[in-house]
A and B are shown apart, each in its own frame.
Chain A
Amino acid sequence: MVVQALKDQGVDTVFGYPGGAVLPIYDEIFQQNGIRHYLVRHEQAAVHAAEGYARSTGKPGVVLVTSGPGATNAVTGLTDALMDSIPIVVLTGQVPTFMIGSDAFQEADTVGITRPCTKHNWLVKDTDKLSGVLHEAFHVATTGRPGPVLVDIPKDVQFATGTYTEKAKAKVSHYQPQVKGDMETITQLVEALETAERPVFYTGGGVINSGPAASQLLRELVEATGFPITSTLMGLGCYPASGKNWLGMLGMHGLYEANLAMHGCDLMINVGARFDDRITGRLDAFSPKSKKAHIDIDPSSINKVIRVDMPIIGDVGHVLEDILKVWKARGRKVNKEGLQKWWHQIEQWRAVDCLKYKPSEKSIRPQYAIDRLEQLTKGYDRYITTEVGQHQMWAAQYLGFEDPNRWMTSGGLGTMGYGTPASIGVQVAHPDALVINVAGEASWLMNMQEMSTAVQYRLPVKQFIMNNERLGMVRQWQELLHGERYSHSWSEALPDFVKLAEAFGCKGILCKDPDDLDDAIMEMLAYDGPVIFDCLVEKHENCFPMIPSGEPHNKMLLGEAKTKDAIGSKGAVMV
């Protein structure tokens, strides 16, 4: 019945790990062909792989794990998906109904444990209700603000036969969030668009979650109005990085021009972002002179941290469509004179060139590594996943994303160990694409067992590890905030990644000389199979620009790039 419901929902891929309490479902999977099951090596990785799959396709990711430890291992993935609004359906086995509460072998209160880390969850005790709950689970996961859901199915319910309800005949769900925005507020926003002197679009993951049409509408609106646009970490790709109005990412490690535009604007249009603390910095000094509009499908995001003047609750795609319609009907007006001055100001900020760095002749600077990766993979059908830390920020700064759904990273929860399984999920969804996990060596070690999955299913994921033998971001904060006392932020016993690759049955590449980097990257790209690329980088590099926590946007640190002699002749041509 479970397999039938999954097929009804259009599912063809499941990430999972079997165990005692899900054996009946695995038995069904064995006896059919429509659903491909990918055996991971750890349940956390199953959820991250499903996240990668979901985020790169827009379809919900499906996970199947057993009771007890299977379910508890999935908790990190669930929390990650909840924070980043990724639609995931997790099916967990449970001990038989008559044993629930008896501390049975591999029993855990799964719905209790996962209640705060799912959008909703169900324990199904009645086989007749199972199919209805499964359809509802997909509905809840994908409707409104997407998120992870979990269905806990006791083993006796799996064994029993019951009435199957088809998707089309399932009860209409009570859960129907509002998708159309309020027209009065939309008109108010359009009026503001017409007169704003210093507007800025501040976009986020909501644009991507709303689907490709929303990105298209956003592009149309940005091009038509000529307003500058910045995006959060989660929203990269909704507006092309090569677009002329693109300011780059904003936030703690965002670009100078993006953050100063946010600080100095008179109209901020938040499209599907949530004023996260990595974005706002000090709240009482956040964009003090602007009127703020906020488009979000989740009413609880409105006025949560920042009071806004024009709240619009609805789906980004629908609201953008209405904005465009009203704006066009009113004669496509913008404040040309104001905009010209605003762009002039932005150009001055841009001229600071905050991502400038000086490539070293002796060692590989991480910025250089990412930069070369960008240059050499530009033409590819490319998907990027990351782990969490400095490398993640460098990737966000130096890689350019032209389309949505191409960038998979753990934003809200900041889960180290996300990237490797996510890259596997992406590669499963896009077998012919180039999938690179930009990683740090510490994060990468957290879920490296998944290389075994990659090898088993011949998934040619490229693990691009920027190895500084440090927990780089931790080290950076210790340097800035804790008097350079580097408490436990370096690794004294790292594996030999090339030998590790051989042990897994994939290819290992070591690169430590900047002169060899291009060839090594080309070698990685040319290899038809999974690669572990150990890129030894400068060990004490800090990630800039940076808004120190507790500071507003205009108090950015630009770092070494600003200091004298920072730019050698080679660097000047680079960025």
Chain B
Amino acid sequence: MSPLNIKKGSTKHSAYNLRSNFSDVQETHTLAVLVANEPGVLARVIGLFSGRGYNIDSLTVAEVDHEGHTSRITIVTTGTPQVIEQIKAQLGRIVPVHEVHDLTVEGASVERELALIKVEGTGDKRVEALRLADIFRAQVVDSTLHSFVFQITGTPEKVDAFVDLMRPLGLVEVARTGVAALSRGA
């Protein structure tokens, strides 16, 4: 035995396989990030998520204040509570990021998503699709003799449910915007 007290070559530990005892429950949070509308700001936000290994479930971005050059990025992300806290802190560090809000913990909020859904079919299936669209308050925005394009807005769960129902009825294509969200009240 060497004077090192461990057998040479006996440990497989690397310095990098260290994880602490934080909670490992996965949570989904919706974050609203107000950013200066300057070139590359979206790349910074996305680069942060990919660079540090965070998840993006959905992401929407658009300018919301032309005068103030502000854009709003809504990100739905999943991670342990510690990872979510890190994501918020890391987002806050980005120089053109003005505000970061966790809508999931900052009181009630409304979340909506828009989807365009193309369904192909004839006969009963076509009628059934139209009937279900009515129940879900989806609108027909394009129609041919063999197809519809529905427009539906709602929570991601509602959109999921509608898409699932359309599947056996001739679902062809889905386009979703991702979640936009605002806190309730003033």
Interface residues of A (CB under 8 A from B): 111-112, 115-116, 119-121, 123, 140, 174-175, 252, 277-278, 280-284, 286, 298-300, 302-307, 479-484, 548-551, 557, 559-560, 562-563
Contact = CB atoms under 8 A, between A and B. Distances in A.
A299 B93 contact: yes
Contacts of B85: 303
A550 B14 contact: yes
Contacts of B16: 277
Contacts of A298: 89, 93
Contacts of B6: 480, 548, 557
A286 B39 CA distance: 42
A138 to B, nearest CB: 13
B14 to A, nearest CB: 6
A115 B4 contact: no
Given A481-B11, A559-B4, A283 B21 contact: yes
A489 to B, nearest CB: 15
B146 interface: no
B66 interface: no
Contact of B93 (A277, A300, A484, A549): A300
A284 B20 contact: yes
Given A174-B98, A300-B92, A305 B20 contact: yes
Contacts of A281: 18
Contacts of B96: 120, 174
A9 B61 CA distance: 36
A307 B23 CA distance: 11
Contact of A557 (B4, B18, B21, B39): B4
Max count, chain A CB within 10 A of own CB: residue among B4, B13, B14, B94 = B4
Contacts of B20: 283-284, 286, 305-307
A304 B52 CA distance: 12
A119 B95 contact: yes
A375 B17 CA distance: 40
A304 B86 contact: yes
Max count, chain B CB within 10 A of own CB: residue among A281, A550, A560 = A550
B44 interface: yes
18 contacts: A119-B95, A123-B39, A140-B95, A252-B15, A282-B18, A303-B82, A304-B86, A480-B4, A480-B8, A480-B11, A481-B9, A483-B9, A484-B9, A548-B6, A550-B14, A550-B17, A550-B18, A563-B3
A358 to B, nearest CB: 12
A557 to B, nearest CB: 5
Contacts of A277: 15-16, 18
Given A120-B95, A480-B6, 13 more contacts: A123-B39, A123-B40, A175-B95, A281-B18, A284-B21, A300-B90, A300-B92, A481-B12, A483-B9, A550-B14, A551-B13, A557-B4, A563-B3
Contacts of B13: 548-551
Nearest to B95: A120
Contacts of A119: 95
B40 A283 contact: no
A482 to B, nearest CB: 6
B3 A559 contact: yes
A175 B4 CA distance: 50
Nearest to B40: A111
B43 A174 contact: no
Nearest to A118: B95
Interface string B9-46: 10111111111111000000000000010011001100
Nearest to A304: B86
Interface string B121-148: 0000000000000000000000000000
Contacts of B51: 116
Interface in B89-127: 89-90, 92-96, 98
Max count, chain A CB within 10 A of own CB: residue among B40, B85, B95 = B95
Given A282-B18, A481-B11, A559-B3, A299 B95 contact: no
